[in-house]
A and B are shown apart, each in its own frame.
With several copies, the nearest count.
Chain A
Amino acid sequence: MSILVDRQTRLLVQGITGREGSFHTAQMIEYGTNVVAGVTPGGAGKTVHGVPVFNTVEEAVRETGANTSIIYVPARFAPDAIYEAVDAGIALIVCITENIPTLDMVKVYHYVKQSGSRLIGPNCPGLITPGQAKVGIMPGYIHTPGPVGLVSRSGTLTYEVVHALTQAGLGQSTAVGIGGDPIIGTSFVDVLGMFEADPATRAIVMIGEIGGTDEERAAEYIKAHVSKPVVGFIAGRTAPPGKRMGHAGAIISGGQGTAAEKIAALNAAGVPVAESAQQVAELVREALG
C-alpha cells in the first residue's frame, strides 16, 4: 500500500515533447512508472520514448485510460493544462510548473476543488511511491520502500531527508512534494489524512518552511486526527521578514509565517521538530521503536 500513486497509476505527461517533459518522461519510465500517454497540441501521431502523443487530454484518456497526469508546460499555459486535465476526468494531476501567477491559482484551486480531481502542486517536485511509481522530477534511486510517509513543501530538502532516511535504513511508503507556492492544490492536512489512513505508513515526516499558516493548521489536525508518530522539519529559521526565499510561498509577511511559530505549533501538537535531516531519521527511528 501507499498513497496517490502506485502500480495502478497510468500516467499521462502534459507537455511531453518539451525539453523537461521529454527528459523526465525517460526518467519516470526508467524508474518503472507506467507512462501511457503524452499530450502536446499538434503533436498527435508522434511518440516520445515510445509513448504515444495526443492533441488533447480527452483523446489521451479515451485511448489509453490514463488516470494521472503530470504537467511540464510553461507557467503561461499551465492553468489551462490543469483545466483540461480536470475536465477530462483525470483523478490526480501533478503540476511541476513554477511561477504560475497567484490569482490564476485562486481560480484553479477552486475549480479543482469543485471537481472530482486532486491537484498536487504547482511548483512541486511531484510524488513517488518507491518501487512502484515515480510521478515527478525527484531522483528515484535515493528512495527505498518502507514505512515512512513524507510530505513536504520543498524539493531538494526533501531529497536530503529521504536520503538520510534511506541511509538510516528507513524506507518510504510515499513521498509527496506539495509545492512551494502560496496557493497549492493539496495541503499538509490532506496528505496527513491519507497517510493516517494508509496501512503501509507507520510514521510521517512533515517538512515545512516559512510562509503562510499551513503548518499551524497541520499541527491542529495532527493533534485531533493523527495517531501515527509525526516528525517535523521547518526550514527558514534565519529568514528575514518580507523577503521571498526562492519559493513564492516562502515569505514572512504581516508578522505571519515565521519558523518559530510553526515549530511552536508542531511541538504543542506533540510533534518533535528536527534540526537536520540526520536528526529527522533519528527521531523517526525512535518513534518506530
Chain B
Amino acid sequence: MNIHEYQAAEILKGYGIPINQGIVATTPDEVAAAAGQLGGTVVIKAQVHTGGRGKAGGVKLAHSPEEAREVGSRILGMDIRGHTVHKVLVAPGVNIAREYYLGVVIDRAARGITIMASSAGGVDIEEVARETPEKIHREAAHPFLGFHDYQARRLAFRLGIEPDLVGGFARIARQLFEAFVQSDASLAEINPLVLTADRTWLALDSKITIDDSALVRHPDLEQLRDLQEENATELEARAAGLSFVKLDGTIGCVVNGAGLSMATMDAIKRYGGEPANFLDVGGGASAEQVEKALRLVLADPNVRAVLINIFGGITRCDEVARGLLSAMDAVKPTVPFVIRLVGTNQDEGRRILADAGITVVDTMPEAAERVVAAAGAAA
C-alpha cells in the first residue's frame, strides 16, 4: 500500500527523524493560510501516489501567501500520471548545503533487507542505479539482528560525510531502518535527506510503501489508505477478495490463478488485442467469485469482449460450468464473451455449457484469438 509523503514524514518523525514539518492543504485558501503561518518561502508539493511530481509541475516554490494561493490553485486538481491532486503539502523552504539519498528496501535476491545511501540525492535513485551505480552504497541487514550501528556509520564514511556529522547521519539511518521494520514496509526512503546550510540533517521528502500482507497487523497504517487515490474497481475487487488490476485495453479477463491470468493477458496481446484488466478469481473459481468478477469487468466501459479462462483443478469443470451459467444469468453480459474451460470433467462441463448455447474453446491460443476477433467486431 502506498501512502502520501506527508503521512510518511509523520511516521518517520515518530522514530525521531528530523523532518521538514509542513501543513497539508486541500484548497487554495488553505495553501495561502499555511504559507502565511509558516512565513517566508514555502514549497508546495502535490500529494499523489506516483513519482515524477517535479517534472509534472507538481512541486513549486512560493514566496508569499498570495503566490502560494495562486500556485496551490494550479497544483490542486492537476492530473499527474493519471492521479488527480486532491491535497498538497506546504512546507518551509530550506537552505540546502548537500543532498543525499537514504533508503531501506526488501532485497529479494538476498532474501533480506538492504539499506542504501547515495550522495546523489534529490534525483531519481533508479536513474542513479542505472547510470552511476558506484554512487550507491549498500549494507545488508542481519536477518535476525537487524542493522548494526557500525554499518550505519560505515555508510556515512563511504559517502564522505565529515566526522562531526557521521553520528547524526547514522542515527537517521538506524531510525529509518527501525521505521521500516516496525511498519512492515517494503520500501522506506528519504530523498533528499539534506544537510542544511547550518549543518543540521533534515528529511525533505519521504516515501513509505507498506507490505499489503502485513496490513492486517497494522490497523493504524491501514487508516492511512487514501481511497481517492485508488481505483474504485480495484477497491471493490479487494473487498470481494478478488485480485484485480485495471489496464487500458478492451478485452476483459476473468481467470483463476495469478500466473494463468498473466499468461492469458499475454496471449490476448499476442493475437493483437489489449487486456482491459488483470483478474484472478482465486484457485477455486466458485460461482459467486465468477459472478462478482464478471460484474467488475463489465463495469469498465472500454470492455468490448470478455475472456473467461478457468482451469478446473480440485473444483470439477461440471461444477464450474454450472456456476458460470448462473453467474452469466445473473450478470447478463451485453458484450461478446469467450469461455475456455479445461480440467477435471471437462467434457461434462462443456456439455452443460453447450446445452445453454455457449461454445467453449479448447486451448488458450484459440480462446485469445477468438476474443480478440470478437472485440474487433464489437468495436
* Residues of A that sit less than 8 Å from B by CB: 27, 41-44, 55-58, 75-77, 80-81, 83-84, 87, 99-107, 109-111, 125, 137-139, 141-142, 152-160, 163, 180, 182-183, 207, 209-214, 217, 233, 235-240, 243-250, 254-255, 259, 275-278
Contact = CB atoms under 8 A, between A and B. Distances in A.
Nearest to A153: B259
B25 to A, nearest CB: 27
A158 B256 CA distance: 12
A154 B263 CA distance: 11
Contacts of A275: 266-267, 270
A154 B269 contact: no
Contact of A106 (B113, B154, B261, B262): B113
B106 interface: yes
Interface of B: 106, 108-109, 111-113, 126, 129-130, 143-145, 148-150, 153-154, 157, 163-164, 166, 181, 184, 186, 211-214, 216-217, 243, 245, 247, 255-263, 265-270, 275, 278, 280, 283, 311-314, 342-344, 363-365
Contacts of B269: 237-238
Contact of B163 (A42, A84, A209, A250): A42
A86 to B, nearest CB: 10
A43 B263 CA distance: 42
Contacts of B129: 254
B213 A56 contact: no
B260 A102 contact: no
B160 to A, nearest CB: 11
Interface core residue of A158, A211, A217 (most chain B CB under 10 Å): A158
Chain A contact residues: over half helix, strand or loop, or mixed?
loop
Contact of A163 (B166, B270, B342): B342
B163 A156 contact: no
A102 B363 contact: no
A278 B367 CA distance: 13
A157 B130 contact: no
Given A210-B262, A276-B267, A239 B213 contact: no
23 contacts: A42-B166, A57-B150, A75-B213, A75-B216, A84-B150, A99-B213, A107-B145, A110-B143, A138-B313, A156-B313, A207-B259, A236-B262, A236-B265, A239-B278, A244-B212, A245-B245, A245-B258, A245-B278, A246-B243, A246-B259, A247-B259, A250-B262, A278-B363
B301 to A, nearest CB: 20
A9 to B, nearest CB: 20
A278 to B, nearest CB: 6
Nearest to A101: B214
B266 to A, nearest CB: 5
Contacts of B342: 160, 163
Contacts of B257: 154-157, 246
A57 B311 CA distance: 34
A241 B106 CA distance: 17
Contacts of A75: 213, 216
Contact of A247 (B144, B256, B258, B363): B258
A101 B217 contact: yes
Given A27-B314, A235-B266, A239-B265, A180 B154 contact: no
B343 A239 contact: no
